[in-house]
Amino acid sequence: MNGTTSRWMVLTTVIIGTFLGRLDQTIVNLALPKIISDFSVTVSEASWIATAYIIANAVFVPVWGKLGDTIGRKKIYIFGFSIFIVGSVLAGLSWNLGSLIIFRIVQAVASSADYPTAMAILTVTFAPGRERAQALGIWSSAFAASAVLGPLIGGPLIDAFGWRSVFFVNIPVGLVGLAMALIYINESVAERKTVSFDWWGAALLGGALGSMVLVLDQGINWGWFSQQSLLCYFGIVFFSALFYYVERNHEEPIIDFKFFRNGVFVNALSNNFIIFFAMMGSVFLIPIFAQTFLGYSATQSGILFIPMGLAIPVAAAIGSRFAYHIEPRWVIFGSTVFSALGFFFLSYLDPASTALEIMLPLGAMAFAMGFGMAQRTNIIASVVPQSEIGIASGILALVRNIGGAFGIAIFGTILQNSENSNVLTIAQHSFINSINPTVIQQGIALIELKAQVAAYAQMFFLGSIVMFLGAFPVLWMRMRQPASRETVHVLD
């Protein structure tokens, strides 16, 4: 096998790992109704299955990134992949809610090793230039595509084989990915060796991120100003302040704040945060809308995402070819603006909408987003020393995850408030010309229906506005071509 073939096999290997880990995060949400029924638990109790996963995943991403740079990216990648398979088996064999939550945490901790180590592996495998940009773009598209393909894959699995199948399906795919990692990935470590690992920083970051993700995930149920939420806010501020103090005084911090003095790095992160905020905040509403107002099943709802799932990787491969012909900021800017346009067309959805009227805007939005995916990832890899690529990629994964969590939490809250506000507004401008109780009840039901549909349209419109605004931070980025494999000249 020649060197070029070997490099692309490495890319295929890490795509399997990234896709599987992110897919698992979304696919399990479809299984919650079945899990609730089997374990006889409430919706509120079952929500901890997702919450525990999100918290554990967010907390350990930067830790694995630092460890990968220190003791070996292949070691950390394979260790995480192996534990993920074991966690999947255990989750599929869960006997009650408590055991399932524990095994989901095991899965989350293991899968969080994938993203930072995978990006570092690709960066040292592919030389700077078009080939690396293409590889990182295709790989990044797997991250986004897995988020939208969960309903497509999960629906038929759950309908045909039950909720445990969403965990057991990880085993054969995971074993293939693990075998490929052992064969194709070469070991790599940072040139600068870590003498003292920043355990205090890792613990404090975990406290801050855990508090943040917890309130984002549970705030709607608790109330944003409830006692539990206020404690989380305090935890965010307290742990963040201590974390900043520790990191500034540590020789080898788990997150190096010098990155944030780099304007290119900061603006690239801002764009990533905003687009994942808008995408996750809006796209998670699509299956709910389809099943509530269009009468679709879980499987039918998943089919709506086929164009989106296909468009992202195809566009990423095409867009990567422009990485060294057009200045990256213009590709990312155009990509983000046209993604916003796709979201805008979703704001016209109503109960009479056809599947095509959902699939076309989603496909257009995904194609536009994927077109700039290579540049979004490659910039992060290019503006930091190669010895710290694991840390930088961990920060990128963290920003994307937090952006998605913020989007889901905030859009969900605004949706509820919009529905209530719309009911009052529509009722004030409506008149039921009858005293028949049945007619009055039908009138009230129609007002509520119109209010709910209008709220979803407002959320998609809001998503388009947020996505559009997310295009502008990148206009302040200016980059020149890489001078070597280690660094690039950056103008910020």
- Where helices occur in 3-129 by DSSP H, the ranges are 3-39, 43-71, 73-92, 97-111, 114-125
Mean of the pLDDT values across residues 79-92? 90
- Stated as kind and residue range, the H or E segment containing 490 is strand 488-491
CA-to-CA dists, residue 14 to 8, 138, 360, 372, 424, angstroms = 10, 11, 30, 20, 51
> Which SS3 state, helix, strand or coil, does residue 429 take?
coil
Does position 192 have pLDDT exceeding 60, yes or no? no
The whole-number pLDDT of residue 491 equals 36
The whole-number pLDDT of residue 429 equals 61
pLDDT bucket at 481, cuts 50 / 70 / 90:
very low
Give the range with max mean pLDDT: 150-154, 300-304, 348-352, 383-387: 348-352
The whole-number pLDDT of residue 437 equals 67
The one-letter amino acid code at 267 reads: N
pLDDT bucket at 89, cuts 50 / 70 / 90:
very high
**pTM of the complete model:** 0.72
No. of helices (H) and no. of strands (E), the chain: 19, 2
Instruction: Say if residues 361 and 309 touch (Cβ distance below 8 Å).
Output: no
Does position 214 have pLDDT exceeding 60, yes or no? yes
Does position 164 have pLDDT exceeding 80, yes or no? yes
Measured CA to CA, the distance from residue 268 to residue 380 in angstroms comes to: 7
Q: Could you tell me the two tokens for 237? A: 């501020």
Could you give phi then psi for residue 479, rounded to 5 degrees?
A: -135, 150
Measured CA to CA, the distance from residue 16 to residue 480 in angstroms comes to: 32
Could you give phi then psi for residue 488, rounded to 5 degrees?
A: -130, 160
> How far does the chain reach from its first CA to its final CA, in angstroms?
42
Specify the length of the chain in residues.
492
User: Alpha-carbon Rg of the chain, whole angstroms?
Assistant: 23
In the Cβ-directed half-sphere of 292, how many Cα atoms lie within 13 Å? 13
Does position 486 have pLDDT exceeding 50, yes or no? no
Q: Could you tell me the two tokens for 480? A: 């020149």
Counting residues of the chain whose pLDDT is more than 90, the rounded percentage is 3
**Residue 491: strand pairing partners:** 478
The mean pLDDT of the chain is 77
pLDDT digits (tens, 9 = 90+) for 400-452: 777 877 787 788 778 877 877 776 676 656 656 666 666 556 666 666 667 77
- Tally Cβ neighbours within 10 Å of residue 402: 19
